[in-house]
Amino acid sequence: MNLMSTSQPSTRASPPAPLEWKFSQVFGERSAGEDVQDVDRISAVEFEKSGDYLAVGDRGGRVVIFERKDGKPTPDEHYSRSQLEQLDFVSLNHPEYQYKTEFQSHEPEFDYLKSLEIEEKINKVKWCTTPNGSLFILSTNDKTIKLWKVKDRKVNKAKEVDPHQLVSSENSLLAERSFVSEQDIPSFTNGKNLGWEENVANNTLLSQELHAKIGNNEDATYARCRRVYAHAHDFTINSISNNSDGETFISADDLRINLWNLEISNQSFNIIDMKPLNMEDLTEVITSAEFHPIHCNLLAYSSSRGFIRLVDMRQSALCDYSARILQDAECQGSRSFFTEIVASISDIKFSVDGRHILSRDYMNLKLWDINMDSSPVATFKIHEHLRPKLCDLYNNDSIFDKFECCLSGDGLHFATGSYSNLLRIFSHGVGSEEGSTVEASKNPNRKPLQRARRSSLSSLTRAFHKQGHENTSLANEFSWSSSSKLQHVAWHPCANLITCASGNSLFFYYA
């Protein structure tokens, strides 16, 4: 398969300068000693293509949407002049977000044919194209995918009005109309009563004032389920990805990848099937899948054996064998019981230009050129310090933890999560192997600037803080705590802003 035409020659002349990361915001930060309910834990994060919106899914089946704030305070927020100046300054340097809306995407279900409980946890969320200003989001749990339309509407909101004030206003109007002296008798010009017209105008203004006191228009956001794509997967769905054609998307489970049309919910095409005739012959499973960002006929998927396969849907209807395989030749040496387990790829992401793929396995973060299938362009070690502890990690199942990865819009910087709420950030260039490390956790020295309103559905909007100080560097100090994992990360498409999730908290960092 010839993929040489899918990319342009690399123009990187020099390694990028290291980025200095600072704390920006946090939503849902819990107080010391506060337990996090399992339904509140974040399970998916995704920026919209323009970066104006952010979608967050949790284990309770909810999707929360944040919108870009740009330093503009909402009507119920009050700042001092110095705080407003700080907001204006910060908004020029990096985006900030505020809560927009949330909705219940999935509910727990029970499959009576298989006697299987289907939990409501959101596995993935993906933004679709927005032709008319509406927002479209794909969300999926283990078995069912849904397409949601989110749209702003104007609604009338009633206000409480003092009835004595209303009667007083009406009486004053009647008094003006009843007691008119002879010298105030209106004159006529060209057959028109000018005084009467003036009274009508005054009455209209008064009526408008009364209506303004009684009710006003407010923006409200509604979410409506437009499509349900169900009954197409026998195994757990681990990935969904939109095509660049804006019409189709793929969904992947452990053994199959299906192709859907957004407008057709009762039919899909199976394009990859790795299920053997005898399940005892099963040697690998699909772990992640993603469409090429530019070419609608190309897609990539990863496996539990550490392979990345690139397929061209133009070559055959079933793409099982028409693939280019990217694999690390250096990993074919000495093998142990844990070799295949830690080699399993948990996430892959295409760069914006489609030339490179970033992959994350348990031990490493790897950058691949799709035209070089023998070895990655760069390897960044994440959990090398845990290699002596693989036996303990296996005993408590931590070795099976899945960590996501993300790239910057220019394709020069990469990020992923680790244990102890550590965010690892790297740059492609000489001397970037160590990268930088940020701890996504509560800083006792940080003072809250404002509190956000509570939400009846999600704990994400529980608190909101921000500051501009630098984070303490932890590059050379690695601790390990399997109870605090930073598994979900996303990079803003147009700015050096990273959001990462730990428990029910959503952190933002900028450079």
Domain ranges for the chain, please list them: 35-70+93-153+220-403
Asked if pLDDT for residue 244 goes beyond 90, the answer is yes
Answer whether CATH 3.30.160.60 is correct for domain 35-70+93-153+220-403: no
Identify the pLDDT of residue 478. Answer: 43
* pLDDT confidence of residue 134: 82
Q: Is the pLDDT of residue 452 over 60?
A: no
Q: Give the C-alpha separation, 371 to 10, whole Å.
A: 12
pLDDT > 80? residue 457? no
State the chain's mean pLDDT as an integer.
Answer: 80
CA 222 to chain centre: 18
Q: What's residue 43's pLDDT?
A: 97
For the stretch 314-344, pLDDT in tens is: 988 888 776 789 998 776 656 778 998 999 9
Whether the predicted pLDDT of 433 surpasses 90: no
* Residues 66/135, Cβ–Cβ less than 8 Å: no
Rounded Cα distance between 127 and 134, Å, is: 11
Task: Give the pLDDT confidence score for residue 132 in this predicted structure.
Answer: 74
30: pLDDT confidence band, cut at 50, 70 and 90?
confident
- Identify the pLDDT of residue 122: 98
Q: How many CA atoms lie within 13 A of 360 on its CB side?
A: 27
pLDDT grade for 7, boundaries at 50, 70 and 90: very low
Range of 86-100, 303-317, 449-463 with top mean pLDDT: 303-317
Q: Is pLDDT above 50 for 181?
A: no
pLDDT recorded at residue 401 = 96
% of the chain with per-residue pLDDT over 70: 69
pLDDT reported for residue 73: 46
**The Cα angle at residue 362 between residues 359 and 364, in degrees rounded to 5:** 55
Least confident range of 110-124, 299-313, 323-337: 323-337
CB 366 within 8 A of CB 324: no
Q: Check residue 29 and give its pLDDT.
A: 78
Top pLDDT among 130 and 41 is at 41
Report whether pLDDT(173) > 90: no
Residue 226 CB neighbour total at 10 angstroms:
14
pLDDT digits (tens, 9 = 90+) for 84-100: 555 554 445 689 999 99
Q: How much is the pLDDT for 153? A: 77
* pLDDT of 376 above 70: yes
Task: Output the pLDDT for position 123.
Answer: 98
Q: What is the pLDDT of residue 315?
A: 87
Q: How many CB atoms lie within 10 A of CB 391?
A: 10
> Where are the strands (E) in 75-144, listed by range?
97-104, 109-111, 116-118, 124-127, 135-140
In 74-138, which ranges are continuous DSSP H helix?
81-93
Q: Which pLDDT does position 3 carry in this prediction?
A: 54
**Predicted TM-score of the model (pTM):** 0.77
Q: Residue 282's pLDDT is what?
A: 93
Which pLDDT value is given to residue 199? 53
Each residue's pLDDT tens digit, 48-67: 999 999 999 999 999 999 99
- Tens of pLDDT, residue by residue over 212-241, are 454 555 668 889 999 999 999 999 999 999
